[in-house]
Chains A and B, each alone.
Chain A
């Protein structure tokens, strides 16, 4: 996977200036009201400014409070702007890929006209030749080609796309490296993959996720309750002779409402989408990423997902009385001209084991056909070497008046039981032995499934293999369950069954026959290499076409929630120490005995209030990196996760501000005299 930031137009530090400008632009009331917590701070700024001008508080103190509140709002805007700027860098490079595309459209008679790509409609057929850019999203209906999709995926290794296969989808803006293809356009102008991606990374089409909405309500409620507290306070305080001016009240309010999480909440949401993109996963909505964090069951196809999909020779099994070297040599000769990956892997394995790699010049190679279901070689010395399935070779040998040894069946069964495919090799009318072809399991899958299991996600493998083979592969890879001899409709049925049990299901697929299952699943991760139907049906597309990518998405989804929860806890826990700073400052003038509550021994009431406010403001930029990166997530039990986060963000949130406020107070006392 290539890091998407390598193709971002701007290096990370370079976006700070536009982000700062954006922070001011976001002061517009239209934008401000979208975030109730920060809107209250913004309103408080206006109120303190007015009160200071009207002479309700000393000019210096009033101005200081107003300024700090204003900066608090700016910091929150800045956090959002930074997150957006990161996405915008990606969007800029995407936009370049979209610019100035021209299309060679074919009409019904097959004539070509050159038009602007923007004029294309779904159903149009276009021709793309070597070196040209694909003008729009579509499906190859004729030919095959290698493409460079670096503009979209950041991955410059060419990919192969072919008509009539599960890998027929092409994306507008990518370049054809070889051959000529005819593409049927599938996207409306302005709704292409690139357009959607640009909108997503810029955050313009971002909708709040359900959890974000629920959390937003909690934060609004906490803000409102503290508003009641602050409004009622002068009336209650008046009874015991405490007079509190408006500036102090606003300061208290801003310290109490959850500004930390309120200021960072939009940034967390945008950053989550960006992190998904960075993992080269294009989620169609923020909700999809969040739901991924809740997934209970993951369904995967065996072929191409768990295994490489092409079988490789892993061992030779000579029959009794046959020398291993003889079998190796025969298998090697039979495969020298075999262009399939299986044939090549036999050659490779035989050479590794020491067989010679040359064939006599006059050898006649026999290719595999559907009728004979064998391939091999006829040597000039009259030897006829064949390899093929058991029944094909048995028929071949019997036709030559040979005898099929009883031992063969047992050997073939042994191999099959291991989940491998047996290939029988014969020389003339003698059966020599069996080549074991295994579907090689992808490296590191076991660890990934174990990690998923730790997160509470069960993996289910879907395979067309017989139950014996399926069980073997399941045990090898560590999947929790498998469906053997599965037909395409079994996938859908399994998803429905799991959902009926209340579980959230993720499905990884690429083929057109996966589309219903991808649509039915709560999280459908389609492979970018897959068909257009699959990509439309899923709610996420993996640009790297790496099925195990779901692991990354699940982690990002969980991180999103954890970051929000942790910062909310932190924000509320901070209130304890802020009370200890502000309440004595507020009341001590009228009630000297309350100075006993000033456990931090702050230098003066004015400095106490300012210190608490400055701490409150500084926490926001200090936590921007955490909001963008997300709270670290390690798969572990939910209880341990909760304990760790409560200790760090709950207990830490109570204690940290005591130190922070005291330090700021000392700095203020040293710099100014109050």
Chain B
């Protein structure tokens, strides 16, 4: 049981320096390696026709983000649908159907990696390396860029050199940074070096890294039906590295890190769990040095840590000790190679961080573990995905500031800027979108016969469907599995959920931050609400629970809770 504590200690020990480094990268501070990276970056800036020091207003920033997504998405969609005719396809994998290709493309473009296909059987090496790995590297960085831009906005916009801090004139277009520079710098200086390190570590532990086709093997239990088995290989290690680090989660193999080839040893398991949390935790540590508000960074860290510890503890308890966990009759599908603690730890972290990779099938975990996973994804801000976790946290923060501000008798303000009707309206869009999309699709899939394709009837089937949409909307990508989700309905409805869960959640906080930046800033005095206090942090957690859980309580009761109670009474009998 020491693994969770070791994990936490390492996350903090590594996240702290990485966060400081990341802040320096995002602030474009002079650093060692500038000459080397400048040599790589300058041609890219030239190709994009941008100057990294030129600032953008929030509209230009968001437009650049959306345009880059549209372009990448189109290219990848075409690759998926034409991979049979393209090079690097030693296993002769056919073209993907349009709806599956669309869902797969959107799923990777939104940093979700929800998979309605099996990678080893349905994607060529080229498709894996461009469409999958390429997007896995660049989409988390896009989230990070949006979060950095939002933080700049919340602090009144980027300061031009020489201008005194705090002396930004109120202008409608606060400088939130340069999108291209943010993406390129963070990719080259932060994400790729980390990936390199992790691929090396994983290759050392035995994860395959090759461009050759897979060998044929004769199984020891060879039968007439299966004389030989083709072992699918490929450049797995780099993909696993980025899928873990970049809150991606889409594995080379369909069963993800439950396959020994993706996760051969206990050490590789630990390295992969560590990688899930590493960048999201680093981003939280980045806040302090990046914004110059260390106490604010500490508040975010403390709040997320508290929620994370509670959620992880509940998952470990549920998987190890709850009424519906420990019974031998319920061992179907349990992961026994690494044990249930490792399954629970991974399940908790992968949903907190919106990673979505798995090392055991959630379908077979105790119902309450599934409940914890769903709640993590509904909150989606316990660390959260790279960048998007922080964006979602800022949404909760603004709402908490609004209510808490009222309760302290002042017009609510964040960092001295007032939150008023227009900002609340923008927040309202985000609050409404989540139940509308998740409950709407869940109801449709369950009520219209033949749509759901669940493998289990009753509560568990309900959980499977609900989980799929929660995971899509949260851009998590993990699956409850056991769902026949390769249909046109699933592909298209999930595509909508993926898009609705990604773009508004990233852009609206930026828009709000830019609106706030344009407002007159009041100095923080004794009457202003200090948000860097435990009292406020607990208020924020209360808002998170009220806002998220209350809306989904009936479904959670009908799904995992009923499942748990039913299993419990079954065991008792």
Contact = CB atoms under 8 A, between A and B. Distances in A.
**A associates with B:** yes
Interface of A: 210-211, 213-215, 217-218, 220-222, 224-226, 228-229, 231-233, 235-242, 256, 290-291, 293-294, 296, 453-458, 501-504, 557-559, 561-562, 564-566, 568-569, 572-573, 575-576, 579, 583, 586-587, 591, 593-594, 596-597, 633, 637-639, 641-643, 645-646, 649-650
Given A239-B446, A240-B458, A575 B527 contact: no
Nearest to A217: B424
B407 A559 contact: no
Contact of A639 (B424, B520, B529, B562): B529
Nearest to B425: A217
A633 B409 CA distance: 9
Going nearest first, the 7 A-B pairs with the smallest beta carbon separation are A456-B527, A565-B406, A558-B409, A235-B443, A565-B407, A235-B447, A232-B443
A565 B403 contact: yes
A579 B406 contact: no
Contacts of A501: 523
A229 B562 contact: no
B523 A503 contact: yes
A238 B446 contact: yes
Interface string B558-571: 10011001101100
A668 to B, nearest CB: 24
B538 interface: yes
Given A232-B439, A566-B407, A573 B529 contact: no
Contact of B539 (A294, A564, A576, A646): A646
Contact of A214 (B419, B551, B553): B419
18 contacts: A211-B411, A214-B402, A214-B420, A217-B424, A217-B425, A228-B432, A235-B444, A238-B447, A242-B558, A256-B550, A455-B527, A457-B527, A562-B409, A564-B406, A565-B408, A575-B546, A597-B561, A642-B407
A587 B539 contact: no
A568 B405 CA distance: 12
Report which residue of A457, A587, A643 has the largest number of chain B beta carbons within 10 angstroms of its beta carbon. Answer: A643
A453 to B, nearest CB: 8
Given A293-B409, A565-B403, 20 more contacts: A214-B419, A218-B399, A225-B432, A225-B435, A229-B439, A231-B443, A236-B466, A236-B554, A238-B446, A242-B558, A296-B525, A454-B526, A504-B522, A562-B409, A565-B408, A568-B403, A587-B558, A645-B407, A646-B535, A649-B407
B212 interface: no
Contact of A229 (B435, B458, B526, B561): B435
Contacts of A237: 554, 558
B428 interface: yes
B528 A233 contact: no
A638 B432 contact: no
B421 interface: yes
Contacts of A240: 458-459, 462, 558, 562
Nearest to B419: A214
- Interface centre among B411, B462, B553, by most A CB within 10 Å? B411
B416 interface: yes
A459 to B, nearest CB: 13
Nearest to A212: B421
A558 B407 CA distance: 9
A394 to B, nearest CB: 49
Given A210-B411, A235-B447, A587-B557, A568 B432 contact: no
B14 interface: no
B428 A638 contact: no
B339 interface: no
A638 B432 CA distance: 30
A576 B522 CA distance: 37
A538 B523 CA distance: 25
B446 A593 contact: no
Nearest to B410: A294
Contact of A502 (B405, B523, B546): B523
Interface in B502-544: 520-523, 525-530, 533, 535-536, 538-539, 542
B516 to A, nearest CB: 13
A458 B403 CA distance: 25
Contact of A221 (B407, B419, B431): B431
A394 B482 CA distance: 107
Contact of A561 (B406, B436, B458, B566): B406
A643 B446 CA distance: 43
Nearest to A566: B407
Contact of B408 (A214, A220, A504, A638): A638
B461 interface: yes
Interface residues of B, number: 68
B545 to A, nearest CB: 9
**Chain B at the A interface: SS class:** helix
Interface in B97-151: none
Contact of B558 (A236, A256, A454, A561): A236
Interface in B413-461: 416, 419-421, 423-425, 428, 431-432, 435-436, 439-440, 442-444, 446-447, 452, 458-459, 461
B416 A502 contact: yes
B344 interface: no
B527 A638 contact: yes
Contacts of B423: 214
Interface in B52-110: none
Given A503-B523, A573-B546, A583-B554, A646 B406 contact: no
B432 A221 contact: yes
B554 A233 contact: yes
B447 A239 contact: yes
Most buried by B among A557, A573, A642: A642
A501 B399 CA distance: 26
A636 to B, nearest CB: 10
Contact of B522 (A242, A502, A569): A502
A557 B409 contact: yes
A565 B529 CA distance: 14
A642 B529 contact: yes
Nearest to A568: B403
Contacts of A226: 550-551
Contacts of A579: 550, 553-554
Contact of B530 (A256, A564, A568, A638): A638
Nearest to A229: B551
B535 A642 contact: yes
Given A211-B406, A239-B462, A646-B535, A638 B447 contact: no
Q: Which residue among A218, A220, A238 has the maximum number of chain B CB atoms within 10 Å of its CB?
A: A218
B462 A456 contact: no
B536 A232 contact: no
A637 B535 CA distance: 12
B555 interface: yes
Given A218-B402, A456-B525, A575-B546, A642 B408 contact: yes
A225 B440 CA distance: 11
A583 B557 contact: yes
A224 B436 CA distance: 9
A213 B425 CA distance: 10
A571 to B, nearest CB: 10
B404 interface: yes
Contacts of B558: 236-237, 240, 242, 587, 591
Contact of B409 (A222, A454, A559, A594): A559
Contacts of A233: 554-555
A241 B552 CA distance: 19
Given A214-B402, A296-B522, A579-B550, A593 B562 contact: yes
Contacts of B424: 214, 217-218
Contacts of B402: 214, 218
B532 to A, nearest CB: 10
Contact of A572 (B466, B546, B552, B568): B546
Contact of B410 (A503, A561, A650): A561
B421 A646 contact: no
Contact of B536 (A565, A583, A639): A639
Nearest to B426: A217
Contacts of B462: 236, 239-240
